[in-house]
Amino acid sequence: MTLPTMDPTETLKTLGFRASPEALSAFITHATKNRLSPVELLEQLTALERKEREARNMAIRTRLATLGRFKPLDAFDWNHPRKINRPLYEKLLTFDFLEKAHNVLLRGASGLGKTTLAQNLGLLALQRGATVRFSTLADALAKLSRPETLPAFERTLRHYTKPSLLIVDELGYLPADARGGDLLYNIISRRHQQRSTIITTNLPFKSWGTIFPGAACVAALVDRFTENCLVMNIEGESWRQKNGSAES
């Protein structure tokens, strides 16, 4: 009795290979044509599968990062701000701060590129294999306020406490309340000395209390966040206002 032979690509898929049938079929053709030795075949097949798994992993982490659309770093106009510490940003690009679980504050008026610089750090961190989450403060507080049970709240909170790099955008642009301050403190305290957080804001630390009126945790929040924190101040005229004035 002759047993039916299975397509080699189907065999590899049943063994858990993630590469597409087309890629596997092309590899088999390549291996046959070039008469690869068993060692060469295994090395190249492993490399093909590793590349596919890394691509899928990157796609999943990119989706979960919610970075949105933004201007690439090579299109950023470093000459526009009146004052910006470019050497400090280039130091951030080494991601030494991420390895040490230090925080970063990007501070300046609206329209100076804080969000763009933060998003580019997020993208490059993803490319280095890190997990990233980007969110405006308002959106994060809204999502954390919805769960009606403690287990549901904890599941939502993990979206902000678990990633290697958390980017909280636009602190100070919309008012919150005391509970919002408690929620942000909860995030920062759980990440403290374990994972890095980037915050963009237009406010000095002494004014953070105005965002969370009545919150008793603001001093502790600032203390936790600033214990190991690199501060990058950006000064100048809003890019949007400048272009609007030029067009009018």
Query: Considering the domain 73-247 in this protein, what is its CATH number?
Result: 3.40.50.300
Helix, coil or strand: residue 235: strand
pLDDT tens digits, residue range 186-223? 999 999 999 999 999 999 999 999 999 989 999 999 99
pTM over 0.85: no
Find all residues with CB under 8 Å of 175, minimum gap 6, and list them.
Answer: 211, 213
pLDDT by position in tens, the chain (length 248): 444 556 777 777 776 777 888 888 888 888 888 888 888 888 888 888 888 888 888 889 899 999 999 999 999 999 999 999 999 999 999 999 999 999 999 999 999 999 999 999 999 999 999 999 999 999 999 999 999 899 999 999 999 999 999 999 999 999 899 999 999 999 999 999 999 999 999 999 999 999 999 899 999 999 999 999 999 999 998 876 665 543 32
Question: Domain boundaries in the chain?
Answer: 21-64, 73-247
Q: Report the sign of the C-alpha dihedral through residues 201, 206, 209, 215, in that order.
A: positive
Is there a contact between 68 and 134 (Cβ–Cβ < 8 Å)?
yes
